Amino acid sequence: MGIRAGVVGAGFAVIALLSGGCNDEPRTIDPDGEPIPVGDEGNEVPTLPPPDSSADAGTLPPDEDGGTTPDAGGTPDAGPTPDAGEPQNAGPWPVDPVLDYTRTFGVGTPQSVGIDEGLNVWLLDGYRIGVLRPGDKAPTWTSGVGQARQPFSPDSLATDSTVICGGEAGRAYVGYRANEMKRAPGIEQRSYIPGPGEAYYTPERYAEYQKGDLDAVRLQPDGKVALEEHLWRTVKSSNEGKQLGIHNTNDFHYEEDRSVLNCARVTRGRDRGDLYITTNHGVTRIQGLVYNSHRHPGWYLYENGSEWGSLQCPYMHGLGIAPNGDVLVANEQMLGVLVPSDKLEDWDREFTWEGPTPWKFKSFNEALNGQATDDYWRAFEQVTAGRYYLGSAEYGVWAMTPKSRSAGNWQKLAGLPTNRILSLKATDDGALYIGTNGAGLWRLEPDGTTLAPVRQVAGQRVLQLVYEPTVTPRMLLVLTDQGLTTLRGP
Look at residue 40 in the predicted model and tell me its pLDDT. Answer: 38
Q: Specify the DSSP class assigned to residue 50.
A: -
* Average of per-residue pLDDT across 94-99: 98
Look at residue 87 in the predicted model and tell me its pLDDT. Answer: 56
pLDDT-based confidence at residue 438 (cuts at 50, 70, 90): very high
Query: Do β-strands 112-115 and 121-125 pair in parallel, antiparallel, or remain unpaired?
Result: antiparallel
Q: 3-state DSSP call for residue 4? A: coil
Picking from 5-14, 16-25, 424-433, 480-489, which range would have the lowest pLDDT averaged per residue? 5-14
pLDDT-based confidence at residue 134 (cuts at 50, 70, 90): very high
453 by Cβ neighbours in 10 Å (0-12 / 13-18 / 19+) ranks as middle
pTM across the whole model: 0.85
Look at residue 18 in the predicted model and tell me its pLDDT. Answer: 34
Among positive and negative, which fits the CA dihedral 392, 396, 402, 407? negative
* Average of per-residue pLDDT across 423-435: 98
* Average of per-residue pLDDT across 323-346: 97
Does 370 score more than 60 pLDDT? yes
Look at residue 22 in the predicted model and tell me its pLDDT. Answer: 60
Of 241 and 174, the one with more pLDDT: 174
Look at residue 302 in the predicted model and tell me its pLDDT. Answer: 86
pLDDT, tens digit, for every residue of 383-398? 999 999 999 999 999 9
pLDDT, tens digit, for every residue of 43-61? 332 333 333 333 333 333 3
Among positive and negative, which fits the CA dihedral 314, 315, 320, 324? positive
Minimal CA–CA distance to 215: which of 255, 179, 256, 171? Answer: 171
Does 32 score more than 90 pLDDT? no
Beta strands in 280-395 (DSSP E): 283-287, 290-295, 299-301, 310-312, 316-321, 327-331, 335-338, 359-363, 377-382, 388-392
pLDDT-based confidence at residue 207 (cuts at 50, 70, 90): very high
d(CA 24, CA 301): 9
Backbone angles phi, psi at 346, to 5 degrees: -80, -15
d(CA 63, CA 44): 27
Picking from 258-272, 293-307, 476-490, which range would have the lowest pLDDT averaged per residue? 293-307
Does 20 score more than 80 pLDDT? no
Look at residue 30 in the predicted model and tell me its pLDDT. Answer: 34
